[in-house]
Amino acid sequence: MNNNSTKEEVIQLKGLSKSFGDLHILQNLDLDLYRGENVVVLGKSGSGKSVLLKCIVGLMTPEAGTVHVLGKDVLKLNQTEMDQLRVKIGFLFQSNALYDSMTVRENLLFPLRRHGLKYSKEAIGEMVYESLSSVGLPKTEEMMPSELSGGMKKRIALARTLMLKPEIILYDEPTTGLDPITGKEISNLIVSVQKKYNSSSIIISHDINCVKIVADRIVMLINGHCYAQGTYEKLSTSEDKEVTDFFI
């Protein structure tokens, strides 16, 4: 990876603070994501990882700090402007969030309908085929979610995210609930997507095997701020027990 000083920031968080009553979740947090980079955020349960993602996409408003995404000041956008920005941000939910009553194809088309995007029948067919092919499931568009394995559902959820060719993808625990072999396949798929689309991603994960495969850089979220950051090799061999406890 190139020196970050020469790369474009696609997400820039400065002094981010978010509390729920007396519970201080994020405290003066700084975090940058560069174009084409995969950053994994590691932290204990309840450390604010999901809150961080929600602040990035405007679903939560911090008490302090700034959130810039693709050059836009998220905290100053109106609803229309926020919706336009969200088209450029893919979100892979931990639960996959597929609609059980819809076929795979209908699930993939949902983001287009939600954002009011119009394409020709031919273009839609090509988009569906490309997205499914990108996740290794090109012949599944007429299947129902109930016919899919856990790993297939995760792939289809990612294919749906790829329909809009987002510049940024946010992954929330992408390998949770999967067996080790399938988890490794999904991790390798995340890297494949990064290379094919030059996407920039923040990945929330507890799965150290996944982290080792996907992370260009790891950020340790401890006590509400970025406690440490670096490559897998750097952090896994740190002399700081607060850091190395995550790699045991």
CA distance 50 to 195: 25
**173 and 16 in contact (C-beta within 8 Å)?**
no
| % of the chain surpassing 70 pLDDT | 98
25-59 residue pLDDT tens: 999 999 999 999 999 999 888 788 989 999 999 99
Question: Rounded to two decimals, what is the model's pTM?
Answer: 0.90
106-115 residue pLDDT tens: 999 998 888 7
Closest to 204 measured CA to CA, from 180, 241, 173 = 173
Q: What is the pLDDT of residue 5?
A: 46
Q: What is the pLDDT of residue 186?
A: 93
3-25 residue pLDDT tens: 554 689 999 999 999 999 888 89
Reading the block at residue 193, the tokens are 């997507």
